[in-house]
Amino acid sequence: MTKKNRTMLIGSIGAGKSTLTNALLGREIPAIKTQALVYRDWIVDTPGEYIENPFFYKNIMATALEVTHVLYLQDATKQKTIFPPGFSTGITKLPIGVVTKCDSEKADINQAIDQLKRVIPKGPIVITSAITGQGLEEIRNLVKCNSMDEMKEYVKMIPEEVVIFV
């Protein structure tokens, strides 16, 4: 992993940010409720409250200054999305949409993709599962990319069941 590239994860309470963080880092421990910012190697894990309560948006903006990429997580098993439309356009870091829990029988992957398209007007969307490992390698590689064009080129090599570019 390129040392200078780092990503922040944001998404609703229980969307799977900490579980994904552990899976991306190869840490085989269960996630516990995130209470504050957690810095681990090239990942900054945030509490779901940061995006669920607009009072904390300033924390998201401040933390974004420290990273190159932002992962916007949408839980495939949840109907609702907590991101305001176009939320990523207010953050000048490379956006990556992430559908979580694609392994679940309750997952509606297409709905989750549609929700993320409203958050990220342009960028990759990765369909992941921390249980099966789908999409993990693709996220690691996207965070190594240094521009939107580089991410777009990378996505061309990946099956569209795993990553699409919008």
Ligand X SMILES: Nc1nc2c(ncn2[C@@H]2O[C@H](COP(=O)(O)OP(=O)(O)OP(=O)(O)O)[C@@H](O)[C@H]2O)c(=O)[nH]1
List contacts with ligand X (CB under 6 A).
Answer: 11, 13-19, 31, 33-34, 47-48, 100-101, 103-104, 129-131
Of these partners, Mg ion, ligand X, none, which one is at the site of residue 74 (CB under 5 to 8 Å by kind)?
none
In sequence order, the 6+-apart residues with CB closer than 8 A to the CB of 1 are 41, 42, 140, 143, 144
Bridge partners (DSSP) of residue 34 are none
50 contacts 36 by C-beta, under 8 angstroms: no
Residue 15 or 145 with smaller CB distance to ligand X: 15
Nearest distance from C-beta of residue 87 to ligand X, angstroms: 16
Residue 18 makes contact with Mg ion by CB under 5 A: yes
Residue 33 or 156 with smaller CB distance to ligand X: 33
The C-alpha atoms of residue 110 and residue 130 are separated, in whole angstroms, by 18
